[in-house]
């Protein structure tokens, strides 16, 4: 099964290499990894989607914890959370097809961010289902380029994912 890990790390040089290296070295599969600064400039937050049964993911979390730059790990898979991904799609768009494409864009509440002589570039944000759906709908027109940010996730409500003390995390630290 796929697990969503919220990982806060110190914003030190090499931290991404350390995390990525650990996954490849120990044979863990990353589905996606998104990273960026948090409200604290010294701290970055990674959202890592890993594939594996509970034993594997527990090992992943424990091994991540051994990295000195990793501050906190929460497996939020079983909690209520929102996740989002941003995708840009450059789609082939002959003048005759444009209206139809723009209609799709409206339906998905996406946006057109660039117009070329024969292409439209579309930006869409959403959860995985929505992103997959728009990709599927645009495919018949000819997708020339597609780039995804990878998923970011956050717990719902007052809980703070990075400081959330789930059972899992207690086990780990």
Biggest alpha carbon distance in the chain? Answer: 59
Q: Smallest gap, in angstroms, from Cβ of residue 44 to other proteins? A: 12
- In whole angstroms, the minimum distance from the beta carbon of 68 to other proteins comes to 4
Query: Nearer to other proteins by C-beta: 67 or 97?
Result: 67
Q: Which tokens hold the place of 168?
A: 């899992």
State which residue, 54 or 127, has the beta carbon closest to other proteins. 54
d(CA 76, CA 162): 10
Tell me how crowded residue 97 is: count the other CB atoms within 10 A of its CB. 15
The residue among 52 and 142 lying less far from other proteins, judged by its C-beta, is 52
CB of 73 to other proteins, least distance (A): 10
Report the nearest approach of other proteins to the CB of residue 106 (Å).
45
Structural tokens at position 94:
């002959």
User: Which tokens sit at 1?
Assistant: 């099964």
Residue 22 or 97 having the CB closest to other proteins: 22
What whole-number distance in Å separates Cα of residue 153 and Cα of residue 52?
A: 19
Contacts with other proteins, residue ranges (CB under 8 A): 9-10, 13-14, 17-18, 21-22, 25, 55, 58-59, 62-63, 65-72, 171-173
Instruction: Report which of 127, 139, 129, 34 is spatially closest to residue 90, judged by C-alpha positions.
Output: 139
Please give the C-alpha separations between residue 101 and each of 33, 113, 130, in angstroms, as whole numbers: 30, 13, 16
Residue closer to other proteins, measured from CB, 13 or 95: 13
- In angstroms, give the least distance from the CB of 115 to other proteins: 39
């Amino acid at each position: 099964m796929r697990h969503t890990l919220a990982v806060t790390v110190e914003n030190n040089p090499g931290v991404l290499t350390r995390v990525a290296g650990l996954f490849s070295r120990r044979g863990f599969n990353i589905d996606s990894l998104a990273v960026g600064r948090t409200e604290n400039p010294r701290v970055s937050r990674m959202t890592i989607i890993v594939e594996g049964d509970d034993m594997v993911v527990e090992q992943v979390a424990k091994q991540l914890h051994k990295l000195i730059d990793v501050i906190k790990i929460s497996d939020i898979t079983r909690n209520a959370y929102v996740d989002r991904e941003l995708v840009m799609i450059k789609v082939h768009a002959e003048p005759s097809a444009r209206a139809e494409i723009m209609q799709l864009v409206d339906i998905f509440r996406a946006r057109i961010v660039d117009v070329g002589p024969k292409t439209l570039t579309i930006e869409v944000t959403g959860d995985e289902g929505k992103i997959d759906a728009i990709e599927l709908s645009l495919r018949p027109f000819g997708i020339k380029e597609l780039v995804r940010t990878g998923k970011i996730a956050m717990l719902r409500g007052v809980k703070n994912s990075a400081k959330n003390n789930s059972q899992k995390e207690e086990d780990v630290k």
